[in-house]
Chains A and B, each alone.
Chain A
Amino acid sequence: MSNKDSGRSYHLQCTGEASATAQAHSSPESITLFGSCFCPFVQRVWAALEHLGIDYKYYEVDPYKKPAELLDLSPKGLVPALRLDYYDPPRALNESTVIVDFLEELATSNSRRSSHTTESLFPPISDPYARALIRLQADSVNRSLVPAFYQYLQAQDEAKKVEGAKGFVDAIEGLVTLFKRAEREGFANYGLWHERGSLSYADVMAAPWLFRATNVLKHYRGFVLPEGEQFRAYMDRVLSHPAFKRTCSTEQLYLDSYERYAFNRPNTSQVANAINAGTALP
């Protein structure tokens, strides 16, 4: 665990498996993902693209420099942004949840897929209740898990760190409760919570922060994941899922990029500012 801010900055290029994936998707395509190598919201979209087998180009941007090409697509200057060049003029999409919903709908209408995969992040429309439970799980991630992660990481005094840890664990437990509920309703095929389940929308929503819990929270807060065989097995399945793994950089990239959050440097990001101000995340 480190105790001093060494002034490290966020990275500008992917490393490890993510770098290979970015390379493999560097040719022009009708769909471009504007992303940043460290950003968990980008990783949601990226993992979804990989899983759904949709043709795309990965394009790295530094969102903090507010490049014009990003602002054209995203007035708030946020990543992820999707540019759709099969429209004239090109259209843009923002918000990771909206983008992933969109990609799912593209995929299930079988347009823009690179392979003959029939992967989907949702149960079929013929099972609306199962779909709704997945949305509830995703909602829990956005409402609780994500803010709790930042509250914990940005906490500076010991009391707040303890509170933050509890908040993050509570959020995980809230999500697990919803996984168990879907299990009780008999939906064992949807979601990695189940041994024979497939990657779900909710898993994609949660995975980037669960992953950063194992490196960033561990390093800066000494965080240890909750015990429990089923939860640990779930974590393994998520982190080693090929579509997710392909979008992960090496540990050092995340440790360097998150130091600014860990020491709550002023104006670290719009997300960090919102946490400090107690307003909704952008």
Chain B
Amino acid sequence: MSEPHAHIYPHATGRAATTVEQHQEPQDLVFYAGWFCPFVQRAWIALEERNIPYQYKEVNPYKKEKHFIDINPKGLVPAIEYKGKALYESLILLEFFEDAFPAHAPHLLPADPLARAHARLWADHVAKQVVPGFMRTVMAQGAAAQRAALEELCGALRALADHVAGPYFLGEQFGLVDAALAPWVGRDYILAENRGYSRGAVGAAWEAYAEKLETRESVVKTQSDKEHYTAIYARYLRDEAQSEAAKATRAGRPF
């Protein structure tokens, strides 16, 4: 069986590399990351947005190191160790950062319960519709399957864009939905180059919103050079990837 991890570029590049370098000091919060992983980027964006001190540790999730597995049996990134306590799942990490760092501004969720519910509803939409739609479009083989998957994804993006208050999802404040979605916006050039996707074809609202997300400082700071993402997605585009997300997409399971 081919060894996928052998081909993954070993560390962040571009602006992300600078950010990694700036977070090498030991801190109460250790952030276990894979520079290329969009789920990692969600949590990374949140840490950067909220100015939470963290120590960045690069992990190769296909080649799992002992201490990492000890604290995180599923071996998935992102994961954290905060004052010795381990936690994982990107959206759960975002909620944890809200609870555990109340004094760090800004918050990613507003104060009002209904506004919070609205944000969580659409973060749920990103998780259930947008991310799987993105994965299915990337991994679809043959023009018909690719077109069908793309159409479904665009529908999900349009539905989301309809609810954007602007400039960010809830309005002036960058928040949960934006952080949950931004990593895939940064990777949508893969779909543009290989699956006939364009932001404009989704709609003007989507195009404007995507641009705001892509240029947000916390997103830019956690983005590596495009060529390295391209190399990884090559496997997904041929439906040969072996990540947990790829396997789940193939098997029709949630991830």
Contact = CB atoms under 8 A, between A and B. Distances in A.
A139 B92 CA distance: 9
Contacts of A132: 87, 92-93, 95-96, 99
B253 interface: yes
A281 interface: yes
B85 A280 contact: no
Interface string B31-64: 0000000000000000000000000000000000
B252 A278 contact: yes
Nearest to B249: A278
B69 to A, nearest CB: 15
B132 interface: yes
A53 to B, nearest CB: 16
B121 A95 contact: yes
Given A91-B114, A129-B85, A280-B132, A101 B254 contact: no
B143 interface: no
A263 B92 CA distance: 36
A93 B117 contact: yes
A275 to B, nearest CB: 9
A35 interface: no
Given A279-B252, A281-B254, A136 B89 contact: yes
B225 interface: no
Interface of B: 82, 85, 87-89, 92-93, 95-96, 99-100, 102, 113-114, 116-117, 120-121, 124, 128-129, 132, 251-255
29 contacts: A87-B114, A93-B114, A93-B121, A94-B121, A95-B120, A95-B121, A95-B124, A98-B117, A98-B120, A102-B114, A102-B116, A125-B99, A128-B99, A128-B100, A129-B96, A132-B87, A132-B93, A132-B96, A139-B89, A142-B254, A143-B254, A143-B255, A147-B254, A278-B251, A278-B252, A279-B252, A280-B129, A280-B254, A281-B254
Interface in A93-115: 93-95, 97-99, 101-102, 105-106, 109
Nearest to B252: A278
Interface residues of A, number: 33
**Dominant secondary structure at the A interface:** helix
A98 B99 contact: no
Contacts of B254: 142-143, 147, 280-281
Nearest to B117: A102
Given A132-B99, A133-B87, A142-B254, 18 more contacts: A84-B114, A87-B114, A91-B114, A98-B117, A102-B113, A102-B117, A128-B99, A131-B99, A132-B92, A132-B96, A135-B92, A135-B95, A135-B96, A136-B92, A143-B254, A185-B85, A278-B253, A281-B128
B96 A277 contact: no
Contacts of B255: 143
B99 A147 contact: no
Interface in A240-264: none
B96 A128 contact: yes
Contacts of B253: 147, 278
A185 to B, nearest CB: 7
B44 to A, nearest CB: 18
A105 B92 contact: no
Contacts of B251: 278
A161 B132 CA distance: 27
A280 B254 CA distance: 6
A280 B128 contact: yes
A131 B95 CA distance: 9
B55 to A, nearest CB: 18
Contacts of A279: 132, 252
Contacts of A128: 96, 99-100
A37 B93 CA distance: 35
A282 B129 CA distance: 9
Nearest to B85: A129
B136 to A, nearest CB: 9
A110 to B, nearest CB: 12
Interface in A264-282: 277-282
B100 A101 contact: no
A128 B29 CA distance: 14
A129 B95 CA distance: 10
The 8 lowest CB-CB distance pairs between A and B, nearest first, are: A278-B252, A128-B99, A128-B100, A105-B113, A102-B117, A132-B96, A280-B128, A98-B120
Nearest to A142: B254
Contacts of A94: 121
A135 B116 CA distance: 16
Contacts of A109: 113
Interface in A57-113: 84, 87, 91, 93-95, 97-99, 101-102, 105-106, 109
